[in-house]
Structures are given as structure tokens and as C-alpha cells.
Structure 1
Amino acid sequence: MNEERTTPTRRDYLKGGSALLAGSVLAGCLGGSQGDSSTTEAESTADTTNGTSETSESTESGASSPYSVTMSPMGDVEFDAVPEDAFVVFPQYADMAVALGHGDAVNSVYVPEMSGKTMNTYYDRLDGVSFEWEGLPDPLAEGMSKEQLYSLDSDVHFVDPAYVSTQDNWDQSDLDDISSSVGPWFGNFYSGTNNGVPEGYSENYEFYSLWDMFGKVADVFQERERYQALQEIHANAISTIEENLPPKEERPTAVRVTMGEEQFYTYHLNKPGYWLADTRPLGANDAFSEEEWPSLWGTVDYETMLEADPDVILHLWGVAPDYYIDGVREKLQNHPVGSELSAVKNDRVFAAGMRYQGPIMNLFQLEMGAKQLYPDQFGEWPGYVPEEPYPEIPAEEQLFDRERLANVVNGEF
């Protein structure tokens, strides 16, 4: 690949610290499968209190001394300065960058219109917070391209090298070349499901909660203090949820889906992995909890869904273009079997967020789900209007303080 590239760039001072392994991975937004980890969101929140990353220097913002951050599968990753340009594939890392005050560093993101509009749906309720997604390239639009990575010339690549290693036309030498001549890899894809790690990586691969990973990204940007302030907001929201959940036998049955033509792609609610960081703490009764699917998701037809007949249907991507919840409801209401579902009859088909959630998205999606599942405990969900911001919630019914969150994101903490 690009054998003519011999002169160093201004980013050659950023080095990846560990050798990368080859392997294979199930790619795509529906990829991955569930593992057996039993770590709860509350436990993982507690684990982050004392930090999750090892650094050689102070983690105060703006530090200029060399430092390193440790995360699986990369190992120790060394930095000589805080990254100014960050390559992002999946939007949880873009959301992390925004939360840490470094959103302007993001130079790419998966399906920018979907990711960017979803993020800004939440950010519109936070004064001074936004994500400028227009004009950003989609790194997966035509497959992961080495030429694109050279062109973007990023200080850090927030993507798992195990994931990249299985993309077309990538091998170990390519991974090493990008890391040494452009910028290091820093990502952990398989914590999304706590399973599916490709051969060659699986032996020593570690899984992290969403907020564990966020802490490590905070150390990359040298924003430990800001991270701790955000983690406190999250811990308080989780505590409020746990204190007010009804007994398990009184909780509704629910399912998380994405609709196809004549089928539903269905997902578990309470399994491990950060892709479920917004449903697992809510503890609803999974309508398909007994189903063992070969991956994170299964395929269910209308008749099977009617047999399960969940009280609540949460539709993934429901606040994103092409998946807006009003179109989903209309399709169900006009279907001869779908119209018989209790969730449809009782107007309990709701817009859910994205699995690829960072910390800010996670806070809003936790609140959204709490209201959709438990209106008596957390207040009625007012509904989502396509193309509009996240709905206004009375202050006394909010799971977190918008002003406090915005202040921390904007550097006032």
C-alpha cells in the first residue's frame, strides 16, 4: 500500500505503542453477538470512579508532556500531545469527543446525516453544544480506505484495529503502517456485545463498559477532570433509576426492534455490552429473553411478534432519518397482524435511540427509555416529533440537569 509515502507528516510524533494482531470480525451495524459477562451498568459506573486508564503524566487538559493510555486490544498507546484531528467510524467516539470539549477534532463519522442529526437531536437541549457533521466523510461508505486515512492525516484513529483488520484489502502491515506513519489506533469494538472477538485477538481481549471506554478516551484528550464531572451526572441518573424501578413482576414486557419489510430484527434488552447501556439499567422484562440467537439480533415475523405480544416496542434509530417513529407506527397500524399488537393498540410503540451511543446520548436515551417503560415512576414520555429536538421535559421529571451537563461539556466544572 502507498509505498511512495516516505516523508513524515506533522503527526508522525504520535505513535501507537503496541503491535497489532491480525484477525477477522463480523462487520456492519448489525454485527456481533452476546457474551456471558454479568457486569451491570451500576457496577461499571462505580468502577470508573478512580479512573480506568494509565498515563505517564498528569491528565489535566492541555498537558504537553508525553503520556500513554492503555486499552485493549492496543495495549499502551503513546501520545506526545493532545490530538487535534480524530478519525472516527462509529459515533460513540464522536459523542465522547463532543462531551470532552473536542468535537471539532472529529474529521469523519459513519453515515454523517444519521449520526449527526441524531446527536444534535439531543444536543439541541444543551446550550452551547452542537456537532458540525455536514461535510464529514463516511469512512465506511465505500469500505475502509487506507488512502482516505492518509488524506485525513489524523492524530488518532478511534476505531478498533481488530475490526479494521477484517476489512477488505487490510493486512497487518497496513495496520502497522498507518499507526507508525499517520496516527495510532484507539478503539474497542467488541465491548459492544462482549463477544465476537476475531481469532488472533480473543485470548487477551478485554471488555469495557461504555463509561470505562469513555474514561480512556478522556485520558487520550487529557480531560480526566471533565470526565469525572460527567461520570458523576451519569451515576446520579443511574441511582435515580434504580431507586424508582417497580418490582420486576410489575415491569412491562418489551422488545427492541428494527423493522424490515415483513419481519422485525429483534434485540435483547438486558445482555452485557455497551450497545445495551441504555436498556439494561431499566430492567424491563425482555419479551424474547429465552431466545438464543447466533448474534446480537434475531429475525422475527409478525406472527411470532404477536405471539410474544410485548407491552412496549422500542424502535432503534427512531430519532434518525429514514427510521422516524411516525413512519414505523403507520406501517404497523396498516398491517393486518401488526395492528393487533398490544403495543400498537395502546400507543406504546416508541422511538429509541442508537446503539452506537456515547455518554451524552446515553444520558438522554436512559431518560427516554425510563419514561417510555415506566411513566408512573418517571413521568409520561411526550413523544418525539421527527426533525424536531429532543422534547422538552419538565425540570422535576428530568433524570439529569441539562444546565449542569451543558456547563461541563462547555468546560465549566
Structure 2
Amino acid sequence: MSRATMSLEAPTRREYVKYGGTVVAGGLLAGCTGDSGDGAGTDGNGNSGGYTVSISPVGEVTFESPPETVFTRLTHHADMALALGRGDGVTALHAPDYYDGLWNQFVERLPGVSLDWSGLYSSWEPDKETLYELDSDVHLADPAWVTQVEGWTREDVEEIAENVAPWFGNSLSDRHQEPPAEWAEGYEYYGLWEQFELVTTAFDEIARFEELAAVYEDLLATIESGLLPAEERPTAVMIASADLKSIYAYTLGNPGFLTAHTRPLGPRDAFEGTVESGATVDFETLLEADPEVILFLGGMEPDTSMPDTRAALESDPVAAEITAVREGRVHPQGARYQGPILNLFQLEMTAKQLYPQEFGEWPTYEEGPYPELPAEERLFDRERVARVIAGEV
């Protein structure tokens, strides 16, 4: 894996957005009607005259001032708000209590950072009238995905953009999903950090992006320097299950930001391409694939017991024969819809789970927050990340 394939290509896109380039023409404008402005962009210095930023599939969006309150549907966008110091400004989130518990497992390791998403409006199937009531400064969500929700049309999202606040998000980049026909022309897919850069530009916070991107690049360089040759890497799968009866399997190297923490690590697919991501499998299928490492999605969530999960696998006559189970390499994961903060932690934890000899062993996780690793065993600087969230840049 070359460094070129992992690089952010940040300067090119930053210049492109900063100096008025557009991703797609047209758009849903905020804070203005008619003329979209003189093409002025934001320079991170609080342009009081407004600024225009573009993202697919929305197009050009003009902001009169940086957003403070933020509607989200998916956690990759809520995490971006957290990274920009707007964690407390999130007004809505899918399964807020669940993800509040999960994200706080990681936030615990960021000095001075706190987060409370509990009790927020659950926005998986948002109600238009509730969006009026929330009156958020920006809807950090993909309008192309929202129009797939029953009761929503393109006219509805345009109404919200005009009367409440703009949409500014992209979600179908998760696994390069095909957009609805009315949004298909010009729809663009972004990497996680590529989209985060556009979001930081919309929030007039490019300095925060540059600081976090430097942490990310350092982490990628560390990973690249320690990766084994492809043929020596372990075979792995990621699974999710509430009871180990219905088991969902996810591949680790497919395009999209859902694999932003596994694709750079390049483990070998234990299924060898025979199982599609999101398919249901049983213990027999897992044994046939016989992964050396099992990554258990949601295992870091407070109400999920990794000891019980391991015990259930070990007590089943079929599952007990899987190499990962026999060798004690069933490890927890957080969430696939990750933003930049979770991505840093998950890159670190997954590197240790897959390559303990190269990056240091991952502690056998049973419960509680992300393990407090000794400073010399950490792959990125928590204090530096916490300072960015606090606005100390």
C-alpha cells in the first residue's frame, strides 16, 4: 500500500473549495435568495460578509456566519461537529442514547472533553415539522438520503433549506451507494477526511481541520511504517450481532468511509470475496472462512458484554473451532459511521488488534471506556486532539 493511496490530497481540495470552486452547479442556499454572492470563500478568519462552500449532492451553499447548532442523522456527521467544538450544539442524532454511550467510551480519553447526546431528537426518520421546531443553523445530513425516507420529497428538503437552514452533508459515500435517480447526475463520493475538510470550511474552522489532519497523517505514517507484507497479514472479518443468532458480516476493504479504519491496515478478507458486506452468516460459514481475527462491531458499547460474547463463542461446538476464538482474538469495535475523532481511535485500536507485534498489544477488553494505554504505546496524541476540540488552535 503506497502512501499516495492513503494521502488526503488536502491542499488541492482546500484550494479548490477556498477559492470558490464548485462540486456541482446549482444548490440549496442559506441566508440569501437570488444572487449566490461574488464567489468569495472562507479563509478561516470569520468572513463577516458571508462565504460560499460546495458539497455534493447539495451544490453551492452560502453561509452568512458559521453554524453553531447542528442537525445530524448519522454519527459520522455528529462526530465532525464534535471535532469542531460543536458537540453540545448537536440538536438531533440517530439512536442518540445508544451513540451517546458509545462515543463517550472514547471521549473519556480526551482530557477536558465532555459530550452529552442523550435525550436528543432521534432523527433516523425525521419529521419536517420537528426540523422547524429545532431551528438548527445547518442540517449536516445528505438530502439525497433524506428523500429516501417515507414522506420526504426533494421539494421538502428545499423548503427546509429555504425556511430553516441549509443541508450540507454526504452519506452515500459510506459504501458508495447508488443515489436516487433524481440526485444521480454529478453525485460525488468523498473519503472521510475529504468530506470533513469541506465541513470544516462550511464552519469556517479550517485551522482545526489542518491540526487534526496533521495528527491523522502522522498516524497513517506510523501504520504504513509497521505494516507487514500483504501475504503475511492476518485474515479477518467484522461481525455484528445482538445475540449471536443473527450474525451480520462486513468486509474490511471495500470503498467508502465505513472502512476508513480497516482499509488502511490491509487485513486479508477471510471470506475471500464470497460474502457481501452486510450479509447474514452462521457459525458454519465463519468456521469455513476461519478468520484469525474477529472484530465485533459495537463491542465497545456500554451495554454490550465482550466477556459474554467470547464465552458464547467458546461454548458453541462450531464457533469454538474458529481460529480467532481458539486464540483469543475476538476484539471489540466501535462504529462504522465514524467521523474524524472515532477514526483516530479506531485506527489505533484496530492496528493493535490486527498487528500486536508491530503496534503493541491491544488489552483484552471486558468493559468500561477505551483502555488507558501507556503514553509510549499510543499511536496518536490525545492531548493535541483535545486542544483542537477545545478551540486551542
TM-score, normalised with respect to structure 2: 0.90
Of residues 174, 180, 185, the one that matches 1:198 is 180
SS in 2 for 1:333: helix
How do 1:8-407 residues align onto structure 2 when only pairs under 5 Å count? 43=5, 45-50=7-12, 51=14, 53-54=17-18, 56-60=40-44, 62-140=46-124, 143-259=125-241, 261-291=244-274, 293=276, 296-386=277-367, 388-407=368-387
Counterpart contact for 1:264–1:300, Cα < 8 Å: yes
1:128 counterpart SS class? coil
Q: How large is the RMSD of aligned CA atoms in angstroms?
A: 1.8
Instruction: For 1:364, give the aligned amino acid.
Output: F
- Alpha-carbon distance between aligned partners in 2 of 1:95 and 1:41, rounded to the nearest angstrom: 26
Aligned-residue offset at 1:172: 2.2
Does structure 2 conserve the Cα–Cα contact (< 8 Å) formed by 1:53 and 1:215? no
Deviation at 1:412, TM superposition (A): 2.0
For the 8 Å contact 1:371–1:380, the answer to whether it is kept is: yes
Match of 2:91, SS state, is: coil
Structure 2, unmatched stretches of 5+, are: 21-39
Q: Which amino acid aligns with 1:250?
A: E
Alpha-carbon offset, residue 64 of structure 1 = 2.3
Task: Give the deviation of 1:374 after TM superposition.
Answer: 0.4
What is the DSSP-based 3-state SS (H/G/I as helix, E as strand, rest coil) of the residue aligned with 2:213? helix
- Map Cα deviations across residues 274-329 of structure 1 (whole Å, 9 max, x no partner): 00000000111111232263xx4222111111011100000111111444423321
CA-to-partner distance for each residue in 1:224-258, whole Å, 9 max, x for gaps? 01100100100010011011101111111000111
- For 1:356, give the aligned amino acid: Y
1:19 maps to none
Q: 1:115 to 1:40 in 2, by over 3 A?
A: farther
State the shift of 1:135 in Å.
2.4
Write out per-residue CA displacement over residues 43-76 of structure 1, whole angstroms, 9 at most, x where no aligned residue.
3533123416345233325442211111000011
Structure 1 residue 347: deviation in Å? Answer: 0.7
Distance 1:135 1:195, change over 3 A: closer
Cα 1:61/1:90, change in 2 over 3 Å: farther
Aligned-partner Cα distance in 1 for 2:169–2:192: 12
Taking the aligned partners of 1:364 and 1:111, their CA distance within structure 2 comes to 21
Tell me which of the two structures has the higher relative contact order, counting C-alpha pairs closer than 8 angstroms and 6 or more residues apart.
Answer: 1
Secondary structure at 1:228 match in 2 = helix
Instruction: Give the letter aligned to residue 268 of structure 2.
Output: N
Q: How many residues align?
A: 370
97-106 or 315-324, which deviates more: 315-324
Distance in structure 1 (CA, Å) of the matches to 2:169 and 2:140: 5
Residue type of the partner of 1:166?
Q
**8 A Cα contact 1:41 1:281, kept in partner:** no
Matching residue of 1:11: none
Distance in 2, Cα, partners of 1:410 & 1:85: 16
1:42 to partner: Cα distance: 5.7
Deviation of 1:348 (Å): 0.3
Secondary structure at the residue paired with 2:248?
strand
Instruction: Tell me which protein shows more helix as a share of its residues.
Output: 2
Identity %: 45
Contact persistence 2:42–2:52 (CA under 8 A): no
Q: Distance in 1 between matches of 2:98 and 2:47?
A: 34
Give the aligned partner of residue 389 of structure 2: 409
1:41–1:271 CA distance, 2 compared to 1 (3 A): farther
CA contact (8 A) 2:173 2:256 kept: yes
The answer to whether the 8 Å contact 2:192/2:339 transfers is: yes
Q: Which amino acid aligns with 1:282?
A: L
User: Could you tell me how far apart the structure 2 residues matched to 1:382 and 1:112 are?
Assistant: 28
Cα contact 1:41–1:277 (8 A) shared by 2: no
Amino acid at match of 2:161: S
